[in-house]
Structure 1
Amino acid sequence: MRPLSQRPRTETRVVFADIDDTLTTEGLITAPSFSALWALHDAGIAVVPVTGRPAGWCDHIARMWPVAGVVGENGAFYFRYDAAGRRLTRRFVLDEATRAGLQDRLRAIRDRVLAEVPGAAVASDQAYRIHDLAIDFCEDVPPLDRAAVDRIVAIFEAAGATAKVSSIHVNGWFGTYDKLGMMKTFAAEVLGLDLDDPADRTRAVYVGDSPNDEPAFA
Structure 2
Amino acid sequence: MRALSEFPADAAASIRGVFCDIDDTITTEGRLTAAAYGALERLSEAGLAVVPITGRPAGWCDMVARFWPVAGVVGENGAFYFAYDGATRKMIRVFTAGAAERADNKRRLDHIEKRVLAEVPGAAVSADQAYREADLAIDFCEDVPALPPGKVQHIKQIFEEEGAVAKISSIHVNGWFGRYDKLSMTRRFAAERLGVDLDADKAAYVFVGDSPNDAPMFGFFPNACGVANVRDFAGRIEAEPAFVASGRGGAGFVEIADMLLARRRPGAG
| TM-score, length basis structure 1 | 0.96
Match of 1:72 in 2: 75
Q: What is the CA distance between 1:4 and its match in structure 2?
A: 3.7
Question: Within 2, Cα distance between the matches of 1:83 and 1:58?
Answer: 16
CA contact 2:74–2:185 (8 Å) conserved in 1: yes
Highest RCO, 1 vs 2 (Cα 8 Å, sep ≥ 6): 2
- The correspondence of residues 5-20 of structure 1 with structure 2, limited to 5 A, is 6-20=9-23
| 2:162 alignment partner in structure 1 | 159
Q: Distance in 2 between matches of 1:183 and 1:7?
A: 24
CA displacement at 1:7 relative to structure 2:
4.5
Is 1:137 aligned with 2:148? no
Name the SS for the 1:24 alignment partner: coil
Residues 11 and 204 of structure 2 are in contact (CA less than 8 Å); yes or no, is this contact kept in structure 1?
no
Partner residue of 2:103? 100
> 2:205 — aligned with what?
204
Q: Residues 63-87 of structure 1, C-alpha deviation per residue, up to 9 Å, x if partnerless?
A: 0000000000000000000112100
Counterpart secondary structure, 2:97: coil
| Runs of 5+ unmatched residues, structure 1 | none
Residue number in structure 1 paired with 2:66? 63
CA distance in 2, matches of 1:193, 1:84: 21
Unmatched segments (≥5 aa) in structure 2: 220-269
Q: What TM-score does the superposition give when structure 2 sets the normalisation length?
A: 0.78
1:176 maps to 179
Deviation for aligned residue 1:10: 4.0
Q: Which residue of 1 aligns with 2:114?
A: 111
| Distance in 1 (alpha carbons) for counterparts of 2:102 and 2:166 | 17
Q: CA deviation at 1:104?
A: 1.1
Choose which of 37, 41, 45 in structure 2 pairs with 1:38. 41
User: Residues of 1 paired with 2:58 and 2:118: CA distance?
Assistant: 27
5, 25, 31: which one aligns with 2:28:
25
Secondary structure at 2:50's aligned position in 1?
strand
| SS at structure 1 position matched to 2:166 | strand
Give the structure 1 partner of residue 153 of structure 2: 150
Amino acid at match of 1:211: P
User: In structure 2, what is the Cα distance between the partners aligned to 1:65 and 1:4?
Assistant: 27
Alpha carbons 2:81, 2:93 under 8 Å: kept: yes
Using the TM superposition, give the Cα deviation of residue 157 of structure 1 relative to its aligned residue in structure 2, in angstroms: 0.3
Residue identity in the other structure for 2:61: C
Corresponding letter in the other structure for 2:120: V
- 1:84-120 deviation per Cα after TM superposition (whole angstroms, max 9, x unaligned): 2100000100011110111111000000000000000
Partners of 2:126 and 2:139 within 8 A in 1: yes
Deviations 1:24-48 (A, max 9, x none): 0000111110000110111011100
